[in-house]
């Protein structure tokens, strides 16, 4: 009778369990890294979108303020929070650069105000929401010596030398200052 040679050509159960355990641990680590990177990427995209939105809103307001005009018939008026029916600061002025008018039309009355956690724009007796989820909207007016919380053309007889516009989105403040246009009554 021929003798059978005992040859182990397979893996034992313990070896298979060790291999499966190591594969599961490595897979879990890779998944954790990929998931963390995905979350970080999504957070960064959201933050970039927030910054772009804030910059776009500030640019739009600043462009319109930079082209503002005032005289006895067309006043520039900046109102501090609580002085009118709005929740926050507001500004009303005439501009030669009103976004949303479909082109150049001469001087256009425009206004911005904060209410119910949103920034609104008034243009041609129409109001629309510029941006939602705003924490605050603040305006300050520079008269050449100090920053003021309100401005009245009737009281000052001129445009402010600069207007600082600040908007808070998700707890972060975005600010910039703009100089209104020089017109026949106000000169720098």
pLDDT tens-digit profile, the chain (188 residues): 555 556 667 889 999 999 999 999 999 999 999 999 999 999 899 889 888 988 999 999 988 898 888 888 888 999 998 766 677 899 999 988 766 554 546 788 999 999 889 999 998 788 999 998 899 999 999 999 999 999 999 899 889 999 999 999 988 999 999 888 654 333 33
**Bridge partners of 69?**
94
CA-CA distance, 33 to 16, in Å (whole number)?
A: 26
User: Cβ–Cβ contacts within 10 Å for residue 138, how many?
Assistant: 17
Give ∠ CA 147-150-154 in degrees, rounded to 5.
115
Strands (E), 56-179: 68-69, 77-79, 90-95, 108-115, 118-123, 126-131, 134-142, 147-148, 151-152, 162-169, 172-178
Q: Where are the domains of the chain?
A: 53-178
Residue length of the chain:
188
Q: Is the dihedral of CA 156, 180, 137, 144 positive or negative?
A: negative
57-84 core/surface letters (b: 16 or more CB in 10 A; e: else)? bbebbbebbebbbbeeeeebbbbbbeee
SS3 58: helix
């Amino acid at each position: 009778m021929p003798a059978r040679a005992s040859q182990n050509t397979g893996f034992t159960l313990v070896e298979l369990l060790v291999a499966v355990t190591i594969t599961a641990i490595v897979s879990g680590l890779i998944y954790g890294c990929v998931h963390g990177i995905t979350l970080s990427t999504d957070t960064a995209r959201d933050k970039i979108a927030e910054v772009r939105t804030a910059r776009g809103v500030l640019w739009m307001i600043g462009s319109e303020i930079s082209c503002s005009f005032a005289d006895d018939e067309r006043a520039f008026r900046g109102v501090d929070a609580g002085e009118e029916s709005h929740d926050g600061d507001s500004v009303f002025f005439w501009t030669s650069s009103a976004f949303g008018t479909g082109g150049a039309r001469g001087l256009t009355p425009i206004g911005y105000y904060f209410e119910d956690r949103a920034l609104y724009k008034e243009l041609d007796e129409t109001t629309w929401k510029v941006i939602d989820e705003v924490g605050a909207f603040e305006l300050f007016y520079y008269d050449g010596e100090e920053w003021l919380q309100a401005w009245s053309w009737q009281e000052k007889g001129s445009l402010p030398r600069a207007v600082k516009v600040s908007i808070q989105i998700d707890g972060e403040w975005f600010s910039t200052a703009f100089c209104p246009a020089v017109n026949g009554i106000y000169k720098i």
